[in-house]
Amino acid sequence: MIVLDHVTMQYPTGKKALDDVTFHINKGEFVFIVGSSGSGKTTLIKLLLKELTPTKGEITVEGKRYSRLKRKEIPMLRRKLGVVFQDFRLLKDRTVFENVAFAQQVIEKSMKEIRREVPAMLTMVGLADQYKQYPRELSGGEQQRVAIARAMINRPDIILADEPTGDLDPKNSEEIMTLLDEINKKGTTVVVVTHNREIVDEMKKRVIRLKKGKIISDVEEGGYRYED
């Protein structure tokens, strides 16, 4: 469902953030992407979101070849991808409810659908009681749950998370990972970029390791132990 075929990304500065990267991720998989800072993880996420265009190689998601994608088709592609960031990226002037509803507004869902689906999603991430609160009134873990609810509300096929626990304490980190694991078990493909050694070791998922833009290992039920 996600295929990178000899993908190279060189920034205009000349920096090669990804160098000839090839991998396959199947439908329903849970994959960690690990690697030290600057190894090209965020670049990889941006390529998958089609925020960036690779300088070489082809990306294919659900049969859509990115190089053939017209500008007008990008929104439809992105609706299949839910995205979660380290810094949550919630709208500060909107409540929990409004932040999640925003994702449906943006893809032009009706008020009726929004009123029906947002409360259910907030229940799923365990924030049903806090729908009226603003992001600043929530803990980091709670804010990340809102972000996950926003990413999930349009029922994407794939969740891309770029260091979702980077700003969280161990307890909250574990809860967020558990939530992502539950989402994966219901059928959504999940790709998580992370630094979190304990969690990667514990969860026994596939681990793709990047170093200086190259894949140096790709292990089923791997751990963080391959760190150099």
Partner 1 sequence: MKINTIRYSFKQGFINIRRNLLFSLASIGTIIACLFLFGVFYSVVYNMKHEVKMIEDSLTVTVFFEQGIDEQRIMEIGNEIKSISNVETINYISSDVAWKSYVDDVYNGDMNYVQNIFGEDNPLEDASSYELTLKDISKQDATVKTIKAIPNVRKVNSSDGTANSLNSINKFVGYASLGLIGILLLVSMFLISNTITIGISVRKEEIAIMKLIGAKDSFVRTPFLVEGVMIGVIGSVIPVILLYFMYDGVVDYLAKHYNVVANLIHFVSTGEIIKGVAPIALLLGVGIGFFASLLTTHKHLHV
Segment interacting with ligand ADP (CB under 6 A) among 21-29, 41-49, 56-64, 170-178: 41-49
Among 4, 7, 32, 41, binds ligand ADP (CB under 6 A): 41
Among 67, 111, 178, 220, binds partner 1 (CB under 8 A): 111
Among 27, 89, 185, 197, binds partner 1 (CB under 8 A): 89
The tokens for 173 are 């980190």
Residues near 50 by beta carbon (within 8 Å), at least 6 away in sequence: 66, 69, 74, 77, 78
Beta-strand runs (E) in the chain:
2-10, 16-25, 30-34, 56-61, 64-65, 81-85, 158-162, 189-193, 206-211, 214-219
Q: Using CA atoms, how far apart are residues 20 and 1, in angstroms rounded to an integer?
A: 19
Q: Are 21 and 214 in contact (CB under 8 A)?
A: yes
Query: Does position 216 bind partner 1 by CB under 8 A?
Result: no
Instruction: Give residues in contact with Mg ion (CB under 5 A).
Output: 42
Question: What are the residues facing 218 on neighbouring strands?
Answer: 208
Among 6, 27, 91, 227, binds partner 1 (CB under 8 A): 91
Choose between 42 and 196: whose C-beta lies nearer to Mg ion.
42
Give residues 42-101 in contact with ligand ADP (rule: CB under 6 A).
42-43
Q: Write the binding mask 38 to 57 for partner 1: x where contact by CB under 8 A, - elsewhere.
A: -----------x-x------
Nearest to 44 by CA among 188, 206, 199, 215: 215
Query: Does position 37 bind ligand ADP by CB under 6 A?
Result: yes
Please state, as a whole number, how many other Cβ atoms lie within 10 Å of the Cβ of residue 50. 18
Choose between 108 and 228: whose C-beta lies nearer to partner 1.
108
The tokens for 44 are 């990889």
Query: Does position 170 bind partner 1 by CB under 8 A?
Result: no
Choose between 33 and 84: whose C-beta lies nearer to partner 1.
84
Choose between 38 and 140: whose C-beta lies nearer to ligand ADP.
38
The residue number with the shortest CB distance to Mg ion is 42
Q: Using CA atoms, how far apart are residues 218 and 209, in angstroms rounded to an integer?
A: 6
Nearest to 106 by CA among 127, 129, 85, 83: 83
Which residues of the chain form contacts with ligand ADP (CB under 6 A)?
A: 11, 13, 15, 17, 35, 37-43
Which residues of the chain form contacts with partner 1 (CB under 8 A)?
A: 49, 51, 71-72, 75-79, 83, 89, 91, 102-103, 105-111, 150, 154
